[in-house]
Amino acid sequence: MSNKTKTILFIVVAALIVITLLTSNSNKENYFLKDKDGAVEIWKGRFSPLGRELFINMPGAQPPDTIKEKYSREEVFPFIAKYYIDKADAVLDVPGLPDFEGMRAYLNKSLTFAITSDLQEKARKRLDKIDRMVLLYKADIAVNKDTIPELKTALEYLNRAKSLGPDEIESGLIQQKIDSIRTRMAVIEIPQQAEIQVQKKPVK
């Protein structure tokens, strides 16, 4: 084999290696959607020209009307984030006390994929709403015990809930609860103070 032939062969092999590396690296940035058995599977390209691995499986997700040959991270991540936000919203439709921890788990997963400010805001607002619901629930339990210490605890819960960005209507409802508790505390404290005064009077 002549030196010229060897040089040409080397150039061809080198070119093939470069093309393979570039194709592999490009494929690594690709995502692929599959509509399978009532779920949407998202596959991620591996560092090889055609390799893929399952990235996430989303039961119950609605696939796009038309599934493209490949997707970018910027297209796939918002789709996943919205899926988890919808899953969190669906928990509220279940009868009985909501599964707050389950909702938090979905919303935290959503934030992992929420690469737009709009989706991040939606997830965080829902997390704040969960915290408000939990605090209001705890406040109701404390109020039912009807003692000054527990009523003070209820006020702490309600003030924390009020700081978590409720809308105007919810803020008004929280304030009504706060006012009601303060009124109840005054009613309880009047006889207690009168009793203290009686105890302080000297015995003749």
**In the chain, where the domains are located:** 26-71
Q: What does the H/E/C string look like for the chain?
A: CCHHHHHHHHHHHHHHHHHHHHHHHHHHCCEEEEEECCEEEEEEECCCCCCEEEEEEEECCCCCCCCCCCECHHHHHHHHHHHHHHHHHHHCCCCCCCCHHHHHHHHHHHHHHCCCHHHHHHHHHHHHHHHHHHHHHHHHHHHHHCCHHHHHHHHHHHHHHHCCCCCHHHHHHHHHHHHHHHHHHHHHHHHHHHHHHHHHCCCC
What is the rounded CA–CA span in Å between residue 51 and residue 156?
56
pLDDT, one tens digit for every residue, the chain (204 residues): 565 555 655 454 444 444 444 444 455 678 999 998 889 999 987 645 556 789 999 999 999 889 898 899 999 999 999 999 999 999 988 888 789 999 999 999 999 999 999 999 999 999 999 999 999 999 999 999 999 999 999 999 999 999 998 999 999 999 999 999 999 999 887 766 555 555 555 555
Q: Are 105 and 130 in contact (CB under 8 A)?
A: no
Q: What is the pLDDT of residue 82?
A: 97
Identify the pLDDT of residue 9: 53
pLDDT of amino acid 144: 95
